[in-house]
Chains A and B, each alone.
Chain A
Amino acid sequence: GDSVTQMEGPVTLSEEAFLTINCTYTATGYPSLFWYVQYPGEGLQLLLKATKADDKGSNKGFEATYRKETTSFHLEKGSVQVSDSAVYFCALSRGSNYKLTFGKGTLLTVNP
């Protein structure tokens, strides 16, 4: 079945540091890929998405590129802020299946 594996946290960085959160997936066909973010005390919200190979999703300074050859969708940001502290989830959706398959989440803490 489909699965998503993302790096285990927690990840602790200083403000303005570079961020990478690794995400790899297993799925047949051509899934769509997503990053969701959950700020403290809130539900999840979509951060960015990519629907085909080599697409780059971007939002709020975050980027991720859909790499089919390595089945990866790593999240990056050049300079993190304290306000980026949250849990980040990688997810996939495949074909006409409207289910999302989530990774286990990565807790990011950014210190001033």
Chain B
Amino acid sequence: DVKVTQSSRYLVKRTGEKVFLECVQDMDHENMFWYRQDPGLGLRLIYFSYDVKMKEKGDIPEGYSVSREKKERFSLILESASTNQTSMYLCASSLDSRSSYNEQFFGPGTRLTVL
């Protein structure tokens, strides 16, 4: 089974702190994604990566950056956390970037609260 793990289930940070969310997948997938999930808004794509050291902005990249130094690991960075970044963050991975059938496998999520 594909396994996507996220470093924390719950995280509480203060405004202005630098926050790192880590995601690891164990199936040699090419693509990795970071979403945030908010009530009434569904899932919104923040950033994705289709290869090591490659990244592309999603729909809401402002206030976030990412890092992918190894194929299995994709990090989301909040340079200076703000209260409007309080949310559930979901990481996902998928195998093949050239197919329209792109099942994504999700981690359990990190619920981040910024005080």
Residues of A within 8 A of B (CB): 30-32, 34, 36, 41-46, 49, 51, 89, 93-100, 102-105
Contacts and interface: CB of A to CB of B under 8 A. Distances in A.
Given A44-B90, A98-B94, A93 B40 contact: no
Contacts of A32: 100-102
A48 to B, nearest CB: 11
Nearest to B106: A43
Given A93-B102, A94-B100, A104-B42, A43 B31 contact: no
Interface in B35-63: 40-43, 45, 48, 50, 58
A68 B30 CA distance: 30
B87 to A, nearest CB: 14
Contact of A102 (B40, B42, B102, B108): B42
B15 interface: no
B67 interface: no
A28 B101 CA distance: 16
A102 B98 contact: no
Contacts of B24: none
Interface in B91-105: 92, 94, 96-105
A99 B107 contact: no
B103 A34 contact: yes
A98 to B, nearest CB: 5
Given A42-B108, A43-B107, A44-B90, A98 B43 contact: no
Contact of B101 (A42, A49, A99, A104): A49
| Nearest 4 pairs of A and B residues by beta carbon | A43-B106, A104-B42, A44-B106, A102-B43
